Chains A and B, each alone.
Chain A
Amino acid sequence: AQTVTQSQPEMSVQEAETVTLSCTYDTSENNYYLFWYKQPPSRQMILVIRQEAYKQQNATENRFSVNFQKAAKSFSLKISDSQLGDTAMYFCASEGGSQGNLIFGKGTKLSVKP
């Protein structure tokens, strides 16, 4: 079965600094997508960034970027210039199964401190 592991239950970072959230996954698929979702205190799930496994170039969305290591099945999220609004739970997810269902990790609670 597919699994997604986030080994950091909680992290904190000072405002304006950079933080990296870790994620590893296990899949038998040849082509797949990986995702990072953000869940702020409002609990609305928001897609932050996604990566297609066949693309070697790491995805970037403004201050958010990923370090995708396909052989190691690692997919970390880097947040640059952290802002107070980045405080949230962050979930890593892997696409799998015949219907492309998403498998989520348990999440990392990120706190950005002023």
Chain B
Amino acid sequence: SQTIHQWPATLVQPVGSPLSLECTVEGTSNPNLYWYRQAAGRGLQLLFYSIGIDQISSEVPQNLSASRPQDRQFILSSKKLLLSDSGFYLCAWSVLGFHGYTFGSGTRLTVV
């Protein structure tokens, strides 16, 4: 069966420090992968999506970047965190022909 792993679950980082959040999917090949951010009262905002290795699209200009070093691995990074990067980050996957996402358990990031 397919599963998605996302870590860490919580993270407290100082302003200006780097960030790396990781997401991996098991049990499927060539998934579409997504990073969303959920800020309080603002719903879910799509940050990046990837339909394949080396195919990453950014939806919102920001202080973050994404990479996909392997087919089932999606990484969200920042070189220098800002206070405004605080939020709840969700990774999700889907496959061609299946409409809808399966989400990871999320990472709560607090930038202090």
Chain A interfacial positions (CB closer than 8 Å to B): 33, 35, 42-47, 50, 52, 91, 95, 99-107
Interface residue count for B (Cβ, 8 Å)?
24
> A42 to B103, alpha carbons, bound, how many Å?
13
CB of B90 within 8 A of CB of A45, answer yes
Is A50 touching B43 in the complex (CB atoms < 8 A)? no
CA gap between A44 and B5 in the complex, in Å: 12
Cβ–Cβ contact A44 & B103, under 8 A: yes
Q: Is the interface of B mostly helix, strand, loop or mixed?
A: strand
Contact between A91 and B43, CB atoms less than 8 A apart: yes
Task: Report yes or no: B103 in contact with A101, Cβ–Cβ below 8 A.
Answer: no
Chain A residues closer than 8 Å to B43, beta-carbon distance: 91, 104-107
Contact with A along B81-112 (1 / 0, CB 8 A): 00000001010101000011111011010000
